[in-house]
């Protein structure tokens, strides 16, 4: 990352600047989509993978655990590509490596190491965002460690209703996650790994 | 799987928040070692807590989803402009085909099953007349089909009156009208234990799954509605038979 423009993009990305994110989509998503579609995927697969790759990159940059030695776009392409290869491997499909991004072997290895954990996180996040707004808000307060009394005041609910609603929202969230084929896949992978 | 209950959730959450006393904590750890189902349930809660603690990432993902939607909307509108003439040609072709078809077949055209069975939940008589102003405004917006306005107003009302189950039925239908079936589902599901509205909620939940093309779930819900033997029984039986016919045409 050397040019002023690159630094601005990186800064905007970490800050979640919508203009930078829109630019990411318009400039770099087509390349990822084309790669995934050429390799047994669909446009929807491409959207999911690209979104997960952006979130993973964001998390790593935000936590300071990533030092970029290439451009942000190259890194995101590498993450997308590795995520897709990992997904194909699970589906036992043939992987065609027709485009290798310009990053070091170490960086590529570190991307792979994060993948499983990220897949699980992405699943939980996606379904959380599928809950109704009020459920999201209530659980958000709860996960941030607020007491039920405080949450009921913030939400304008009675304490008893807050407890009931928290249970219902969380139960619903877990049920949605459990029904996703990726969750089943990840669970069986974990079991296999523990069995070894 | 350990049967999910508020007590089970509270116990796991207290452990995760380090709020159990020493004795309960030891008991909890022992159970983790000996009870596989309990451990699995615990792992899910743990993952959920760890993941959702990172609200920054969730907000970031939310932003990406919005941008993706903007993109797909603009692609769709471009595609629809580009394919306009083809669509007209295809429509003429289909209409000609249908005309010929109806010459030989004496079947009436049917709307999709969802359109056939879905009617927006009507504003109940008990709500008409004198009511507080914000309730009146919400129901008026809902009644005249201004669902964007109704969504905002109903959400505001439910915030103030979380016990008002009937408003959740309206909000669920509002979401269906706004083509947001996941949110509709969440509203109807929140009424599962409602004494007065669980039957209505189940019926609209079935219709929501129908809209989402998840017929296995629709069928399972319809079986419950038929067994319940209430006001939706007949509709449920008819829809059930339509779905079964579609699924296994040779069985009927």
pLDDT tens readout for residues A7-49: 888 888 988 888 889 989 999 999 999 999 998 889 989 999 9
Among candidates B251, B190, B204, B210, which has minimal Cα distance to B232?
A: B204
Which 3 state secondary structure label does DSSP give B218? helix
Residues from chain B contacting residue A165 (CB–CB below 8 Å): 162, 190
Sign for the pseudo-dihedral over CA of A181, A85, A80, A104:
positive
Residues from chain A contacting residue B159 (CB–CB below 8 Å): 134, 155-156
Q: Rounded to whole angstroms, how far apart are CA atoms B176 and B114?
A: 11
A137 and A74 both lie in a single domain: no
A102 and A134 both lie in a single domain: no
Res. B103 pLDDT band, cuts 50 70 90: very low
Domain coverage including residue A21:
4-106
Is position A66 within any domain? Answer: yes
A100 and A136 both lie in a single domain: no
Q: How far is CA A57 from CA A13, A37, A51, B18, B61, in A?
A: 9, 22, 10, 31, 12
Which 3 state secondary structure label does DSSP give B249? coil
pLDDT the model gives residue B80: 52
A100 and A133 both lie in a single domain: no
Among candidates B19, B61, A50, which has minimal Cα distance to A41?
A: A50
Size of interface A-B (CB pairs under 8 A): 112
Q: Does the beta-carbon distance from A47 to B52 stay under 8 Å?
A: no
Q: Which chain B residue is nearest to residue A164, measuring alpha carbons?
A: B6
Q: In degrees, to the nearest 5, what angle opens at C-alpha A150 toward C-alphas A148 and A155? A: 90
pLDDT the model gives residue A155: 87
Is position A115 within any domain? Answer: no
Tokens of B238: 């008819």
The domain tally of chain A equals 2
Q: Rounded to whole angstroms, how far apart are CA atoms B84 and A129?
A: 35
pLDDT the model gives residue B39: 94
Residues from chain B contacting residue A135 (CB–CB below 8 Å): 186
Is position A112 within any domain? Answer: no
Residues 22-61 of A with CB under 8 A from B: 22, 25-26, 29, 47, 51, 54-55, 58-59
A102 and A137 both lie in a single domain: no
Is position A121 within any domain? Answer: no
DSSP assignment of A22-65:
HHHHHHHHHHHHHHHHHTT--HHHHHHHHHHHHHHHHHHHHHT-
Any B CB within 8 A of A126 CB: yes
CATH number of the domain within which A102 lies: 1.10.1740.10
If one compares A109 and B249, the residue with the highest pLDDT of the two is: A109
Is pTM, for the whole model, over 0.90? Answer: no
Is residue A3 over pLDDT 70?
A: yes
Sign for the pseudo-dihedral over CA of A155, A160, A161, A166:
positive
pLDDT tens readout for residues B131-182: 577 788 888 888 888 888 899 889 888 888 877 888 999 999 999 999 999 9
A8 and A67 both lie in a single domain: yes
pLDDT tens readout for residues A64-109: 877 777 888 888 998 999 889 888 887 765 555 555 556 666 666 6
In angstroms and rounded to an integer, the radius of gyration of the C-alpha atoms of chain A is 19
Buried/exposed code over B58-95 (b: 16+ C-beta within 10 A; e: otherwise):
bebbebbeebbeeeeeeeeeeeeeeeeeeeeeeeeeee
A150 and A88 both lie in a single domain: no
CATH number of the domain within which A156 lies: 1.10.10
Q: Does the beta-carbon distance from B53 to A140 stay under 8 Å?
A: no
In angstroms and rounded to an integer, the radius of gyration of the C-alpha atoms of chain B is 24
A18 and A101 both lie in a single domain: yes
Cβ burial, residue B196 (10 Å; 0-12/13-18/19+): exposed
Is residue B207 over pLDDT 90?
A: yes
Is position A78 within any domain? Answer: yes
In the 8-state DSSP scheme, what is residue B106? -
Q: Does the beta-carbon distance from B65 to A22 stay under 8 Å?
A: no
């Amino acid at each position: 990352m050397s040019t002023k423009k690159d630094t601005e993009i990186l800064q905007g990305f970490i800050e979640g600047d919508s203009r930078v994110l829109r630019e990411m989509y318009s400039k770099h998503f087509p390349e990822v989509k084309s790669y995934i579609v050429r390799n047994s995927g669909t446009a929807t697969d491409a959207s999911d993978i690209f979104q997960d790759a952006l979130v993973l990159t964001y998390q790593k940059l935000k936590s300071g655990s990533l030092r970029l030695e290439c451009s942000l776009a190259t890194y995101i392409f590498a993450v997308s590509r590795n995520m897709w290869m990992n997904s194909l491997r699970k589906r036992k499909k043939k992987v065609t490596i027709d485009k290798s991004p310009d990053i070091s072997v170490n960086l590529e290895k570190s991307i792979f190491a994060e993948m499983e954990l990220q897949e699980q996180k992405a699943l939980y996040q996606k379904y959380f965002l599928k809950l109704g707004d009020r459920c999201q808000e209530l659980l958000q307060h709860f996960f941030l460690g607020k007491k039920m009394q405080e949450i009921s005041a913030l939400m304008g609910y009675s304490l008893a209703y807050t407890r009931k609603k928290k249970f219902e929202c969380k139960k619903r969230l877990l049920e949605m996650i459990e029904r996703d084929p990726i969750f089943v896949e990840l669970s069986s992978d974990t079991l296999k790994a523990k069995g070894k | 799987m350990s049967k999910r209950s508020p007590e089970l959730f509270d116990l796991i959450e207290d452990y995760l928040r380090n709020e159990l006393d020493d004795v309960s904590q030891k008991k909890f750890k022992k159970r983790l070692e000996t009870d596989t189902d309990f451990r699995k349930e615990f792992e899910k809660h743990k993952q959920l807590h760890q993941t959702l603690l990172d609200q920054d990432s969730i907000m970031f993902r939310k932003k990406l989803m919005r941008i993706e939607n903007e993109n797909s909307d603009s692609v769709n509108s471009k595609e629809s402009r580009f394919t306009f003439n083809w669509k007209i040609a295809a429509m003429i072709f289909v209409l000609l085909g249908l005309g010929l078809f109806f010459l030989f077949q004496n079947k009436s055209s049917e709307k999709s099953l969802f359109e056939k069975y879905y009617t927006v939940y009507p504003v109940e008589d008990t709500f008409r007349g004198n009511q507080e102003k914000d309730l009146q405004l919400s129901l008026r917006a809902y009644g005249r089909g201004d669902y964007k306005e109704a969504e905002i107003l109903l959400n505001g009302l439910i915030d103030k009156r979380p016990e008002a189950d009937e408003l959740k039925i309206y909000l669920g239908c509002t979401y269906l009208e706004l083509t947001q079936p996941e949110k509709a589902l969440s509203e109807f599901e929140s009424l599962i234990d409602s004494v007065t509205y669980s039957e209505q909620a189940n019926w609209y939940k079935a219709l929501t799954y129908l809209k989402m093309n998840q017929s296995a779930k629709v069928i399972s819900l319809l079986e419950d509605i038929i067994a319940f033997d209430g006001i939706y029984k007949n509709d449920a039986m008819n829809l059930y038979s339509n779905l079964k016919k579609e699924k296994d045409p040779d069985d009927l």
